[in-house]
Amino acid sequence: MRSQIKLHILLLIAFSFSVSAHSQSIPDAQKILAQRGEVYFQFEPADFEVLDQIARVISVDEYDPQTGIATAYANKQGFERFLSFKLDFELLTAPGLAAHKSQFNMLNEVDVSTIDAWDFYPTYEAYESMMEQFEELFPHLYERIEILTLPSGRKLIFGRITADVEEENERPKFMYTSTMHGDETTGFNLMLRMIHYLLNGYGEDDEITWLLDNLEIWICPNENPDGTYTTNNNTITGATRGNANFIDLNRNYPNPVLVPEPDMQPETEAMIQLVQSYPFVLSANIHGGIECVNYPWDSWKSWEKTHADHYWWQYVMHEYADTARYYSPSGYMDPWGPSFNNGVTHGGDWYVIYGSRQDYMNYYAHLREFTLEISNTKLLPTSQLNDLWNYNYRSLLNYMKQSLFGIRGRVTDALTGEPVVARIHLTGYDTHNSHVYSHAVHGTFNRPLKEGTYDLLVSADGYPDKFIPCIEVLNHHTTWLDIEMGIEASIVIVDQGKVVLFPNPAGDRFTLQNLTGNEYIRVLDLSGKVIKEKNASSTSAVIPVVSLAPSLYIVEIKSSHQTIRKKLQVIR
Beta bridge partners of 513: 500, 540
Instruction: Report how far residue 445's alpha carbon sits from residue 450's, in angstroms, rounded to the nearest whole number.
Output: 17
Instruction: Name the amino acid, one letter, at 280.
Output: F
Query: Do residues 346 and 337 touch, judged by C-beta distance below 8 A?
Result: no
Instruction: Report how far residue 50's alpha carbon sits from residue 121's, in angstroms, rounded to the nearest whole number.
Output: 39
Residue-level length of the chain: 572
Q: Does residue 438 sit in helix, strand or coil? A: coil
Beta bridge partners of 472: 453
Tell me: cis bond preceding 297? Omega within 30 of 0 counts.
yes
Q: Does residue 326 sit in helix, strand or coil? A: helix
Tell me which residue of 540, 542, 566 sits closest to 553, measured CA to CA.
566
With 0-12 CB in 10 A as exposed, 13-18 as middle and 19+ as buried, what is 103? middle
CB-CB neighbours of 223 under 10 Å: 31
User: What sign has the CA pseudo-torsion 286, 95, 253, 150?
Assistant: negative
Query: Do residues 282 and 403 touch, judged by C-beta distance below 8 A?
Result: yes
3-state secondary structure labels for all residues of 342-397? CCEEEHHHHCCCCCCHHHHHHHCCCCEEEEEEEECCCCCCHHHHHHHHHHHHHHHH
Half-sphere exposure of 196 (CA within 13 A, CB side): 21
Active site residues: 373
Instruction: Report how far residue 396's alpha carbon sits from residue 437's, in angstroms, rounded to the nearest whole number.
Output: 25
Tell me: cis bond preceding 503? Omega within 30 of 0 counts.
yes
Tell me which residue of 442, 285, 300 sits closest to 365, measured CA to CA.
285
Angle at 367 between CA 364 and CA 369, to 5 degrees: 100
Tell me which residue of 297, 434, 307, 427 sits closest to 371, measured CA to CA.
297
Which uninterrupted H or E stretch holds 165? none
Q: What is the secondary structure of 55-119 as a DSSP string?
A: HTTSEEEEEETTTTEEEEEE-HHHHHHHHTT---EEE---HHHHS-GGG--EES---TTS-----
Half-sphere exposure of 479 (CA within 13 A, CB side): 27
Farthest-apart Cα atoms in the chain, separation: 97
